[in-house]
């Protein structure tokens, strides 16, 4: 069990602050901001973050600054998440993580170039929340339970871990129950569209549309799937949506169908009382843009 979380003194950055947040949520240990001793580097009960020149998860040492220049963009938070076995999910479902890795290991100019945005955009995306948290954390030499900043950091870490836990549960649920459909427009046309169908289950997913969407992303099907079909939480039927605004589907086209009780005007989804998979496929075909 970790009894101390240690990170470097002076200026704080997003990666070390978030790494400490996660470890606070995991272990509830106090935080010290100074250089580590060799004894602390060797002690697995002291988690050392972003300082010390050592990456050794067995000893709870998580520094990336000694990595070679050609090493993939990595930050202290990456190393902690990887140690906890949730880095792959975090990288896939936390869109802010990879830019944070780039910023910390490559700097703002190269990060902006990688993102394809002007250098100024990096600072334009800063918020007073980021600035205040980093500034207040940087001013601390010690931090323990009961301190408002410590408790806020605990919230951040808990929410991140909970988000990734729930995302993984939803992915596993969808992977167990979902079906892959190839929906043909007609034999004479010869083309088809790919969809994922999540049938109604007992117990049901708490957020079926999110579960299916996360499953598609986790399975690497983002560029294959055009539609997702999932149980409607407000009725006995189903919701049908286009995945990532797929250009071949417009569900406003099914608005007049007798078993469609809602079709979004923008065309990204509809709700139907239909439960027969054959009928659900027909509605996907009816939404097909010529």
**H or E element at residue 204:** none
Give the chain's domains with CATH numbers: 4-168 (no CATH), 178-286 (3.10.310)
pLDDT band at 189 (very low <50, low <70, confident <90, very high): very low
The yes-or-no verdict on residue 166 having pLDDT over 70 is yes
Tell me the average pLDDT across 196-217.
94
β-sheet bridge partners, residue 163: none
Percent of the chain residues topping a pLDDT of 90: 90
Q: Concatenated DSSP letters for 235-287?
A: SSSEEEEEGGG-TTB-GGGGTT-TTEEEE-TTSSEEEES---HHHHHHHHHHT
**For residue 123, what are the contacts with CB-CB under 8 A and spacing of at least 6?**
108
**Per-residue pLDDT reduced to its tens digit, 133-165:** 999 999 999 999 999 999 999 999 999 999 999
Cα end-to-end distance, the chain, whole Å: 61
Tokens encoding 138 = 């940087």
**DSSP category for residue 288:** B
Tokens encoding 60 = 């709870």
**Per-residue pLDDT reduced to its tens digit, 101-118:** 999 999 999 999 999 999
Extended beta strands in the chain, E state = 4-7, 31-33, 46-49, 55-56, 61-62, 142-143, 179-184, 192-197, 227-231, 238-242, 260-263, 269-272
- This prediction has a pTM of 0.86
Alpha helices in 84-230 (DSSP H): 87-93, 97-115, 119-124, 128-139, 148-177, 208-218
């Amino acid at each position: 069990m970790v009894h101390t979380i240690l990170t470097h003194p002076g200026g704080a950055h997003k990666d070390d602050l978030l790494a400490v947040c996660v470890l606070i949520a995991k272990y509830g240990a106090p935080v010290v901001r100074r250089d580590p001793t060799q004894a602390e580097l060797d002690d697995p009960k002291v988690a050392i973050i972003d300082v010390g020149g050592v990456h050794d998860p067995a000893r709870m040492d998580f520094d990336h600054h000694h990595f070679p220049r050609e090493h993939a963009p990595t930050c202290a938070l990456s190393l902690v998440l990887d140690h906890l076995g949730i880095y792959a999910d975090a990288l896939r479902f936390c869109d802010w993580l990879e830019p944070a890795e780039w910023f910390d290991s490559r700097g703002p100019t190269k990060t902006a170039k990688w993102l394809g945005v002007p250098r100024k955009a990096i600072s334009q995306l800063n918020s007073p929340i980021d600035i205040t948290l980093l500034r207040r954390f940087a001013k601390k030499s010690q931090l323990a339970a009961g301190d408002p900043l410590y408790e806020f950091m605990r919230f951040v870490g808990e929410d991140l871990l909970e988000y990734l836990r729930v995302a993984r549960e939803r992915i596993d649920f969808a992977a167990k129950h979902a079906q892959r459909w190839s929906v043909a427009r007609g034999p004479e046309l010869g083309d088809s569209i790919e969809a994922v169908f999540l049938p109604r289950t007992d117990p049901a997913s708490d957020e079926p549309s999110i579960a299916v969407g996360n499953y598609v992303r986790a399975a690497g099907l983002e560029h294959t799937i055009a539609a997702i079909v999932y149980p409607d939480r407000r009725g006995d039927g189903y919701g049908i949506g286009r995945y990532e605004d797929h250009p071949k589907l417009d569900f406003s086209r099914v608005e007049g169908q007798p078993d469609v009780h809602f079709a979004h005007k923008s065309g990204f989804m509809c709700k139907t009382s239909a439960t027969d998979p054959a009928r659900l496929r027909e509605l996907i075909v009816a939404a097909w843009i010529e």
